[in-house]
């Protein structure tokens, strides 16, 4: 299967005077239509990895290839366009815009794309229907429960028909029941729309590939158990 994301020798160092390296030589491929869970302890570099995959952050060295486009020398506006078209984001805190109602929030990425066609509105309605939110479409997002808000964020991430959805602890702020709900939706969306998922999580792993990260190093689960994947350093597992 073709890759939707490829990371090649990605390093990330923060700070100028006091340098702290967060990611070490990461080589990673995310296949189309796959579900990937990124697991690891707090501070291991999960979120940094996700932000680099989502082009929200740039690696200190290495290359990030999204849907065949190398982002290394891409201008800011082109990166923005790529993010808008190829990637959907879901965060721990839903990050909906309280100034807009549910329907407008779902449509926001398509409006950024200046796509005002009827089809996109129909798609928004279909997504809201699928997520059980159709009757709330005119509600203000603040009038919904946490689980409902996260479902609106899921609908929003899907509106531009992206190839990848990056989710950073999407259930971290939800109760057990709502968390189950969200994961079931992810599976359903993956099945119906063929979207690849990269989910940073520290509680539950979905069926699919598990990417383990520890101290900035990557380990993959293989038949032999956990093993270092991208550098000579031991992941210490």
- Where along the sequence are the contacts to another protein (CB under 8 A)? 51, 54, 56-57, 76-77, 80-85, 89, 91-93, 95, 97-100, 108-109, 111-114, 156, 168
Structure token digits, residue 50: 């996700």
Q: At what angle do helices 102-112 and 146-158 cross, to 10 degrees?
A: 30
> Terminus-to-terminus CA distance in the chain, angstroms?
29
| Closer residue to another protein in complex, CB, 87/219 | 87
| Closer residue to another protein in complex, CB, 76/222 | 76
69 vs 72: CA distance, rounded Å: 9
- Sign of the alpha-carbon dihedral angle for 152, 153, 156, 162: negative
Helix (H) or strand (E) holding 39: strand 35-39
Q: How far is the CB of 221 from another protein (least distance, A)?
A: 28
Q: How far is the CB of 128 from another protein (least distance, A)?
A: 18
Q: How far is the CB of 144 from another protein (least distance, A)?
A: 17
71 vs 42: CA distance, rounded Å: 28
Q: How far is the CB of 228 from another protein (least distance, A)?
A: 28
Q: How far is the CB of 98 from another protein (least distance, A)?
A: 7
| Closer residue to another protein in complex, CB, 108/206 | 108
Give the closest residue to 52 by CA, choosing from 26, 76, 20.
Answer: 26
| Closer residue to another protein in complex, CB, 71/92 | 92
| Closer residue to another protein in complex, CB, 4/229 | 4
């Amino acid at each position: 299967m073709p890759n939707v994301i490829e990371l090649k020798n990605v390093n990330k160092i923060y700070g100028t005077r006091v340098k702290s390296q967060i990611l070490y030589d990461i080589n990673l491929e995310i296949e189309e239509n796959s579900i990937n869970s990124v697991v690891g302890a707090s501070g291991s570099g999960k979120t940094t990895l996700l932000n680099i995959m989502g082009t929200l952050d740039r690696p200190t060295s290495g290359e990030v290839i999204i849907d065949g486009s190398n982002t290394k020398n891409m201008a800011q506006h082109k990166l923005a366009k790529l993010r808008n078209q190829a990637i959907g984001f879901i965060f721990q805190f839903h990050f909906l815009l309280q100034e807009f109602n549910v329907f407008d929030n779902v449509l926001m990425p398509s409006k950024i794309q200046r796509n005002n066609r009827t089809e996109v509105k129909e798609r928004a309605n279909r997504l809201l229907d699928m997520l059980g939110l159709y009757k709330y479409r005119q509600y203000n997002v603040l009038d919904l429960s946490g689980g409902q808000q996260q479902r609106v964020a899921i609908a929003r991430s899907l509106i531009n028909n992206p190839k990848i959805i990056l989710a950073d602890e999407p259930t971290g702020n939800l109760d057990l029941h709502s968390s189950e709900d969200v994961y079931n939706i992810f599976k359903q969306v993956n099945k119906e729309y063929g979207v690849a998922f990269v989910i940073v999580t520290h509680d539950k792993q979905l069926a699919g590939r598990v990417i383990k990260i520890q101290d900035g190093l990557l380990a993959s689960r293989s038949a032999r158990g956990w093993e270092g994947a991208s550098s000579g350093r031991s992941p210490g597992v």
